[in-house]
Structure 1
């Protein structure tokens, strides 16, 4: 009798373990794998966005996110995309280094039957791919429309550009041309170079421009990181106390510079908003609620008058 009871308990235990194992296996199988391929973790905005995406993904128990660093290299990023396809991720999110270089690889993602989302900047015109982005023309325009009134007559300015072929870099420069330079023919560009969104590259260029010019009335940068680099060179120099400066992104560093009066304005490109939309888009695609989604965030101007609001935003997110 006792042996029968032990045998019964053993059978029940085995059945229980099998049932629990099956339940666990079923639960695990519902978790979908998402690859996020960042442009470059050394880029302050790209790092901000990658961190925001990780934090947002933690809110989704059905999503397992893996982040990869493209190292500001087309070849590295393209290789990462191919590896993500080979490893059969359910969704591949691409933050392009150069949209046209990544386009064929994003198309490969779609052809492999994997959901593809491009972001910051979107790669437009890929049938079956989704995107989460902002309007780069308007991001620059909100600054340029103010600069038309702020930059003095016959000013000398320098321009820091992002990587050629990058949708955001090209559109922001186009916007500054139409919204500012075409309206202010009196303004002279005394230096214009590509700094690849990079702070150190911008510093090196600004050092050369300071040596070559008697004055620089404004720094026009296509992102905050380059603007901050240029400002680092002239910081504390009374000769440049009145130099105006403009960027895009609304990074924690930039809003603090604006609060201090060292930077004039920026356009917020909220990594938090982008991350929220990226994960909600991912979830909708995976659930079958949508097949293709293309959405944009807003483009608020950040100035000294409202900088406190955005400093508080970064504090709440733990960035400050």
Structure 2
């Protein structure tokens, strides 16, 4: 998807611009991958200087960072929300202050004058949920890990799993479901409880790779769970290596490299006055054992391995 809302006149290409990138949490493997990719991509735009701020998976802290960026009069503020609805009023303040806004991973819809670069979270989960329809055994017990409750990606991915998998597989039983906030350590704690409470669990269904990796860490050396399936979203290097080792079943590539390329492209257009508002999405290819070597090589070429 690519939507240009309004074109305006160009500004001088020689101008210098300051950009604040407010990351969700640098302790989140995908968020760290994206932040690093944005800094690397920004090197191609000598007129743009990007400064990264860590939201620490805390909406109050992230909102404070947004307010500080407004006060410091950055030319553009990019927000990777922890909880989109909690960040919405502060994102609106950015536009009200006359500062360019991009929301990403996940976008905050409905902010007039604000742009976004994202992926379709429903489809990200749907493509792996459709694989699971055939792979998850009959009458299976599964556990589900979700992201923050107000996060657009968490909500839409979980909705996709419901429509594309659970409604079609009424034989499957959810024996544990928790909000792990995209966090590996939280997922590990929940998985430790679930393996104590259940003699069998056939699949881990996670709304991102980081939480899936945490759950896998708990059971990877337990022969009782040797054949457990595991699904995620993001295509991080950790998930790719887990698929290669046979510990994870499938994930969807949400390429931080591609997101970073789009984010800097959109940033440049906005800052030079070429457009007023843009909304654009990247794709969502599935990663399995059949093509995981390509993804590992992609990470290797980018210095991520």
- TM-score class, shorter: over 0.9
Of 303, 308, 314, which aligns to 2:293? 308
What runs of 5+ residues in structure 2 fail to find an aligned partner? 1-11
Please provide the CA RMSD for this pair.
1.1
Provide the secondary structure at the position in 2 that maps to 1:288.
coil
Displacement of 1:287? 1.1
Provide the secondary structure at the position in 2 that maps to 1:294.
strand
Counterpart Cα distance in 2 of 1:230 and 1:70: 24
Who wins on radius of gyration, i.e. which is larger? 1
Of 121, 126, 130, which aligns to 1:145? 130
What runs of 5+ residues in structure 1 fail to find an aligned partner? 1-26
Cα deviation 1:10-37 (Å, max 9, x = unaligned): xxxxxxxxxxxxxxxxx9x821000000
Whether 1:207 aligns to 2:204 is no
Counterpart Cα distance in 2 of 1:242 and 1:271: 30
Aligned to 2:9: none
Aligned to 2:90: 105
Of 143, 152, 163, which aligns to 1:178? 163
Of 4, 7, 23, which aligns to 1:38? 23
Counterpart Cα distance in 2 of 1:288 and 1:195: 40
Counterpart Cα distance in 2 of 1:285 and 1:31: 13
Counterpart Cα distance in 1 of 2:271 and 2:182: 33
Provide the secondary structure at the position in 2 that maps to 1:158.
strand
Whether 1:233 aligns to 2:218 is yes
Of 33, 36, 60, which aligns to 1:75? 60
Of 145, 149, 152, which aligns to 1:160? 145
Displacement of 1:110? 0.3
From the two aligned structures, give the one with the greater helix fraction.
1
Of 94, 100, 104, which aligns to 1:115? 100
Of 267, 273, 280, which aligns to 1:288? 273
Aligned to 1:85: 70
Counterpart Cα distance in 1 of 2:52 and 2:227: 41
Where do 4+ consecutive residues of structure 1 move more than 3 Å? none
Provide the secondary structure at the position in 2 that maps to 1:292.
strand
Aligned to 1:65: 50
Normalised by the length of structure 1, the TM-score is 0.91
Displacement of 1:239? 1.1
Aligned to 2:260: 275
Displacement of 1:109? 0.4
Counterpart Cα distance in 2 of 1:30 and 1:297: 29
Aligned to 1:132: 117
Q: How many pairs were matched up?
A: 294
